[in-house]
Amino acid sequence: MKNVAARSDGRCPWCGDAPDYIEYHDHVWGRPITGRNELFEKLCLDGQQAGLSWLTILRKQSGYRQRFEAFQPEQLAAWGEEQIVAALNDPGIVRNRRKVEAIIGNAQALLAMEQAGEDFSRFLWSFVNHQPIINEFRDVHEIPDETAESRALSRALKKRGLRFVGPTICYAFMQAVGMVNDHLLGCPVRSETVAQSREMAQ
């Protein structure tokens, strides 16, 4: 994200020129999400990008949704070897056994959290005190790779058995689902996303 040049249109420069990446930046990134399955999907997909670019995963998102039961934890938690092998033969996803098994394991961990009385959405949002953090960065180089909050979230998720949830992945997740608003000052969609963030905080 850091090795990018400023854009003439003022958008956060990491989204480049690809139309699908610009669409993601304008309409998804930084907008608060609280739905349990949406949060689970995004956390899993951010884990899938480990060692890859987010654009690679973004372009396979529909493939992941088709293959992984629309990220319904109850369905995924029951997967066995037959479903894993089918996934590993699917060119619509990243065919990495550890990453495929992580999605299944994460679904099982989520259900275990709920069985223990933890609400997944409230648990995640508790790391920002249930209201978005609105940063005021002018340059992409000011945006951190991880924060105290993402490190705390990472530790808590790992303790509960989730995988591919390191502090950098957790910070990318927090940015994407609007727990943190890192749209740069001057970005044309910043004001709209900040308004959504502040509305949630009320």
Mean pLDDT of the chain: 95
CA neighbours within 13 Å on the CB side: how many for 55? 11
pLDDT of residue 5: 62
pLDDT of residue 7: 77
Q: What percent of the chain has pLDDT over 90?
A: 90
**Mean pLDDT value of segment 122-139:** 97
pLDDT of residue 1: 56
Residue with tokens 């409230």: 122
Q: Give 7-49 pLDDT, tens digit per residue.
A: 778 899 999 899 999 999 999 999 999 999 999 999 999 999 9
- Bigger pLDDT: 199 or 119? 119
Between the CA of residue 21 and those of 29, 42, 133, 188, what are the distances in Å? 10, 16, 23, 15
Residue with tokens 């550890």: 98
Q: Give 58-102 pLDDT, tens digit per residue.
A: 999 999 999 999 999 999 999 999 999 999 999 999 999 999 999
| Residue 138 structure tokens | 């002018």
Number of other residues whose CB lies within 10 A of the CB of residue 44: 27
Domains of the chain: 13-201 (1.10.340.30)
Measured N-to-C along each axis, helices 97-115 and 81-88 cross at an angle, to the nearest 10 degrees, of 140
pLDDT of residue 3: 56
